[in-house]
Amino acid sequence: MKKILVTGGAGFIGSNLVESLLEKGYQVVCLDNLATGSLRNIHDFLDHKNFEFVEGDILDFDLILKLSKGSFAISHQAALGSVPRSIKDPITSNRVNVEGTLNVFKAAVDNNIERVVYAASSSTYGDSAELPKKEDRIGKPLSPYAVTKFVNELYADVFHRVYGLNTIGLRYFNVFGPKQDPNGPYAAVIPLFIKAILSGERPIINGDGSHSRDFTFVSNAVQANIKALETSAENYNTVYNVACEQKTNLKELVAYINEVEGMNVAPIFANEREGDVKHSLADISKAKTQLGYRPSHLIKEGLSVTIDWYREKK
């Protein structure tokens, strides 16, 4: 039985990943400070014989060193997300996302861990207007959050060159799905829209609705993580796009949610958000070829599952 430390394992993506890892027979140690994660997300696993939850912070190097000892891998999902959050408080975003990741990489080196799979971000593409986005061509970051995620990639490369650490970065493109929190000032657009429409309220679109994203159902992100954790050594020390190669603008997104719900709730248009990328669409050929990644859910399929989950939790 292989042991894996999952940082941020009580968060949205992390908890979905933990569930899959347990189903596959891994021994999972989950580290989360519950700042954005929740015990509700891991409630069903707390009594599992192969699961251990530790409330703690990735800024605590000694704790990461202790918990990762004996692990074959670290799945590093912990971070402070949200472009607006990083613009409001860049210092905290940098501390958590950069210093925390540095702690994870150093602990992995000290414990001679085989590999670290970490959550990278499509925000790294910055002001590049090229579509679709290819891993080896990026622009300048547009927010402090984007800077922190790019720095993670730079540290991963340096740690491989200097210390021999093997890493795989997964550039997530707007992941959504069950367990994503629709509340709070930094909630993502899909849970916000679903929450509004399920309540019969008009969702708020920042901008004219033409902003587009490659929305990625969480099962696809989990699949990519499992593939990365189990792939062979020749696929280490690089980054992969994790998405669906499908572009959806915000007006279309509202229409899709209305379609699933059999409703016709019109959006409200507000000012654009500072730091937002206009369009985002991934080229996932690298992940397909090297990891064997194949999206299991496109946006409409993912929205159907997600809306059912929110309706049950409402």
Summarize pLDDT for 29-45 with one digit per residue, the tens: 999 999 999 999 999 99
Residue by residue, DSSP assigns the chain as --EEEEETTTSHHHHHHHHHHHHTT-EEEEEE-SSS--HHHHGGGTT-TTEEEEE--TT-HHHHHHHHTT-SEEEE------HHHHHH-HHHHHIIIIIHHHHHHHHHHHTT-SEEEEEEEGGGGTT---SSB-TT------SHHHHHHHHHHHHHHHHHHHH---EEEEEE-SEE-TT----STT--HHHHHHHHHHTTPPPEEESSS--EE--EEHHHHHHHHHHHHHS-GGG-SEEEEES-S--EEHHHHHHHHHHHHT--PPPEEEPPPTT--SB--B--HHHHHHH----S--HHHHHHHHHHHHHHH-
pLDDT for position 187: 82
pLDDT in tens, 227-284: 999 999 999 999 999 999 999 999 999 999 999 888 899 999 998 877 777 899 999 9
pLDDT for position 186: 73
- The mean pLDDT of 56-73, rounded to a whole number, is 98
**Lowest-confidence region among 102-116, 158-172, 212-226, 264-278:** 264-278
Question: For the chain, what is the mean pLDDT?
Answer: 95
pLDDT at position 213 over 80: yes
Alpha-carbon distances of 172 from 13, 36, 175, 213, rounded to whole Å: 10, 18, 7, 11
Catalytic site residue from 145, 240, 256, 293: 145
Q: What is the pTM of this model?
A: 0.94
pLDDT for position 314: 63
pLDDT at position 312 over 90: no
What is the topology classification, in CATH, of domain 3-176+217-244+281-296? Rossmann fold (3.40.50)
58 against 183, higher pLDDT? 58
Q: pLDDT over 90 for what percent of the chain? A: 88
Closest of 303, 302, 295 to residue 255, by C-alpha: 303
Counting other chains too, the contacts that 16-19 makes at CB distance below 8 Å and 24 or more residues apart are: 16/177, 16/178, 16/179, 16/218, 16/219, 16/221, 16/222, 17/75, 17/77, 17/221, 17/222, 17/225, 17/226, 18/42, 18/45, 18/51, 19/44, 19/45
Q: Is residue 176 within 8 Å of residue 285, measured between CB atoms?
A: no
* 145 is known as an active-site residue: yes
